[in-house]
Amino acid sequence: MTDTHHSAPDDVLMGYATGTLAKAFDLVLATHVSLSDDARARLETFEALGGAVLDNMDADDLDAAPVEEASFEQTMAKIISAPASEPTAPTGAIAGTFPTPLRNVVGGDEDALQWRSLGGGVKQYVLHSDDGGTARLLLIPAGRAMPVHSHNGAEMTLVLKGSFRDDGGVFARGDLEVADTQVTHQPIADPGEDCICLVATDAKLKFQSLLPRLAQPFIGI
């Protein structure tokens, strides 16, 4: 099991547990949870709490229960005070780069992909795209810097192989970086090994330099 240092925030895991995330982000979270003991344990706590709440509600409650403004904070307080659950057996511990949730979508490991070149050695493979967002695999050559960019929406980046660094720190296998419209960064793949990431976005990136902006309609990022 991967010793992750950057795990999914609680609100993101709760969105995954309640089924409110778009399919592209669901894939990233399912893959992240399969690699991270911390994320999986917290997810199980959220799911257990949600099940307990539903068990204590009758049909009339489900039809008409009002949502108070402080409900999220109250729920989080209950979660924090609840006993920690024991991690279950890993769901992604198989040989290869891709954990089981991603392998099931791809139909194999990284050697099953037909990468599309984006230039400069960077490659991508689009896994899913709809109105809710796009999930793609990116291969960034070791030592390569991606263009500086900000975001028009949300971006989740899960490292599957190698590592990269930006202002948020160093992200290695199993680590998840969550960025929004307030984040501007330049991911740089660390030397020694190409970096493969699973990335989900719900809007186009905002590149600062001209060349990436000109290429954007063709590369679809």
Among 34-43, 74-83, 160-169, the least confident range:
74-83
Give the rounded percent of residues in the chain with a pLDDT score beyond 90: 67
Q: Is the pLDDT of residue 100 over 70?
A: yes
Give the rounded percent of residues in the chain with a pLDDT score beyond 70: 78
Tell me whether domains 10-81 and 100-219 share a fold: no
Give the span between the Cα atoms of 134 and 156, in whole angstroms. Answer: 11
The DSSP secondary-structure symbol of 64 reads H
Between 19 and 80, the more confident residue is 19
For residue 129, the model assigns a pLDDT of 94
- β pairing state of 149-151 and 133-140: unpaired
Assign domain 100-219 to a CATH class. mainly beta
The answer to whether the predicted template modeling score (pTM) of the entire model surpasses 0.85 is no
For residue 23, the model assigns a pLDDT of 96
Assign domain 10-81 to a CATH class. mainly alpha
**Cα–chain center distance at 48:** 22
Q: Is the pLDDT of residue 87 over 50?
A: no
Q: Is the pLDDT of residue 171 over 90?
A: yes
**Domain ranges within the chain, ordered by starting residue:** 10-81, 100-219
Rg (CA), the chain: 19
Q: Do the Cβ atoms of 22 and 127 come closer than 8 Å?
A: no
pLDDT digits (tens, 9 = 90+) for 50-80: 655 545 555 555 455 455 555 555 544 544 4
**Cα–chain center distance at 159:** 9
pLDDT digits (tens, 9 = 90+) for 111-147: 999 999 998 899 999 999 999 999 999 999 999 999 9
The mean predicted confidence, pLDDT, of the chain is: 84
Q: Is the pLDDT of residue 81 over 70?
A: no
At 89, is the pLDDT very low, low, confident or very high (cuts 50, 70, 90)? very low
Q: Do the Cβ atoms of 179 and 185 come closer than 8 Å?
A: yes
Q: Is the pLDDT of residue 1 over 70?
A: no
